[in-house]
Structure 1
Amino acid sequence: MSFVDTLRQWDEAVTCVNRQDLSEAFRIFLSIQEPNSKICFDIGCLHLLNQDLDAAEKAFDCSIRKDEHLAVAFFQRGITFYRKKRYEESLGDFQHAFKTLRGNQLIDYKALGLRYKLYACDVLHNMALAEAQLGNWEKAQENLVKALDYKTEARLNIIDRALQSTLKQKLFKPVEFPSKELFKPNKHYVAELEKKDYLGKAKVVASVIPQDEFSGFAPLQPQVEDGPTCPKEPEVLRALEGEPHTVLFEFVPETSDELAVVPGNIVFVLQRGADNWASVIFNGRRGLVPYNYLERLEISLASKQNEGVRTPPSREPPTRPERKQGRTPGYDSNGDTQCKETDGKPHDEIHLVALHSYESSNPEDLSFHQGETIILLSRVNQDWFEGQCNGNTGIFPASYVEEVPANGD
């Protein structure tokens, strides 16, 4: 079977799945004589959707034989083994998937035709579940603590709930791949399957000559002059910062910059002040919490390995510490964040002037007009800066601004 025929049948089968016609999709997929690794993966996903675990296992075996570096295929076969209650084999596949990630936070398969991101913390989550099924609760906890090193905001709650379950020696649900998401053939190759009339039929849209029927090419449009080239936008996916801590006591805030937490919450400490207040992140929000209300997560796990379930202390919470006048962790005396360079050391404010206006639809970008002054907060990379202007904070191209001399000249 030629590559063109395989491509056409692959595209037809995926279209049938989108129409919910799974029987026709199966018929087309199984008629492909020499399926590649991605097609075998698609067939395995459809078998999982039909609860045919044996057929799904064979399809994922075929996918892995054809591409031993396809981490998502190991992940899916691990799910198949888990459903068949073959937990040791399931653990082995999850471990192989994590090894294939090679220390990366995630693999985005969009470029290969699959709208899915395989997160390292999700793989470690399922490794912990397989260890728990085998009765290895300590190893399950170790995998979940390791998952915190690969944490992202979108996956934090999943790890938090799983960790609380292992502390009580209770099972939790696995992270599963959406079975209706399939590898699709390259859309540019598919577009070439159909014949196209690239010239088309010309049509007069407007003319100063009455009843003019002449058609031709439009003149070149004028180009923007003196405008700098906008650099490639930096990656917006950011891992969370700070060290994980468990909340021991309920804390009710009294000011707007303090954060409400309850026992069992996991927060990430960014900075601890001398006045016993800590700047933390919880559920994507920043705020202040008394440090004596917290306990390092690694310490809590080690101290409870031989005790089983972790229970909040029965004593009363400690006395609320006094807030020192002036600077608190991560804030200056006016309540604004301290300006930091990329090395984390505070410096005097650096002012920039906008050489050109910058408008962007991205919420994390900073828009400004030509001539406005911008306070530099950090240098993201050589092409992008982070700054503050008109009360707004965001990133912007470095080529759009220049630094104002310190003497004001």
Structure 2
Amino acid sequence: MSFVDTIRQWDRGVAHADKKAWAAALEVFLDIQEKNSKILFNIGCLYLINQELDAAEKAFDNSISKDEHLAVAFFQRGTMFYKKQKFEESLGDFQKAFKLLRGNQLIDYKLLGLRYKLYACEILHNVALTQAQLDQWEKAQESLLTALSLKTESKHELVDRALQSILKHKLFALVEMQPGILFRPRKHYVDELENKDYMGKAKVIASIIPQDEFSGFAPLQPRAEDVPVQPKMPEVIKALEGEPHSVLYEFIPETENELAVLPGNIVFVLQKDADNWASVIFNGKRGLVPYNFLEPVEITLSSKQGQGGAVSDVIPAPPIGVPPVRPQRREGSTDFSKDANAAMEGTKDEEIQFCVVKVHFRYTLAICVIPGAAYSVVLQKIGEKLKLPIQHVTLSYTEKDSGQRVTVNELEMKKVWKSVQNGRLVLWCDVSWTQQSQCTEQSVATADLKKVVALHSYAASQPEDLAFHRGDVITVLSKVNDEWFEGQYEDKVGIFPASFVENIGNNDPA
């Protein structure tokens, strides 16, 4: 039996006991296969109510064997022994129950599912009674004097009356649990047994029926007969380009430029040539198909939309007949696949209109050159940027395979352009001087350089950055853009933010 079934049957047994149907409750508890100490306690109590003392003794024994600290079970078994006139066994159980209280005045079993409070003074009351039955009058008097010190409520005046009876060597009534007080399963376990409607009940907020006073849902209404079926709106087949055509016959390609299609396929004709061949798109692929294998169609799923007739769900039969003869392609006819490739290449050329050439000199500069430009054009632009005569400038690049620096010339420039990646190219610039030209160039370069002073300190975050401190004087070598300059400080060259410096005098680094 599962735990859920045990809880459900336990709750049924308690419900019968609440109605004082002791026999029905006992039957339900006995049907539980896995009985815990609380269920066995309930069975013992029901046997005790029916005065079946032997069965009650066995049930209380099993309950105590499963929970040796259940004081109320010892109390009930002591009551059962007293009724069987086994006073020594009864005295032992009452004393054990008192010991399990561990000096407390009571134990409240409400948290365990038993609506009962076991008082220490009541246990000692029964202890004194069993001692009196065994002619132990002095011990009975001591037990009742101890019980008087443990009284907590006014209803315990019975202890006072019991003491007066003991002094007269008279017996008194036994304190017993009321019939029907049983252990109950935990409430949240029982609540989980019921099916819960987490969605709740629907509530009508608004109605489309004028002057509708109905507060719930309207019942199903009879449907009218012979209502004309409204045809479904046609779904438009959207194409980026071309005219839609339906394939009439299967076409097997014989060249790489031709496209395989099957009867019933929808293709989009981009261009029809004079030799009866058409350039089409099908499933994202472009190729050639004989135009006499195709038939123009409307841009709807049904060719009978808007004709007022009923739409047929019957699958049409496949076309019959012999496919037309494959047309002959003329020499020099348009190769649509090559045109497409050329168009794609043209698109790529348009995307990369300029190549950024990064030139490493004493400082680094950048120029924009059209890809594929001649060596003389590139050299001329770099010379103008450096303000140096081109006859003294030598360019080189790093070969991709060997990693060595190779000098650039007119023939080598073609290989250089093949090493361009993402529109970027890196070159190195060297200058060979004569003594006269060197002096002239140094004087020209010195005259053109601008000086700026640092307003703030700048820490280099990249290898190409120039670090300096506030107050340092920096020589501006070039203007990278409106926000960055390239300059030299001491023996270091790099780029730095333009907003971190200020012109000296009337110098303008821009």
TM-score, with structure 2 as normaliser? 0.40
TM normalised by structure 1 equals 0.50
> Which has the higher relative contact order, 1 or 2, with Cα contacts under 8 A spaced 6 or more apart?
1
Q: Which has the larger radius of gyration?
A: 2
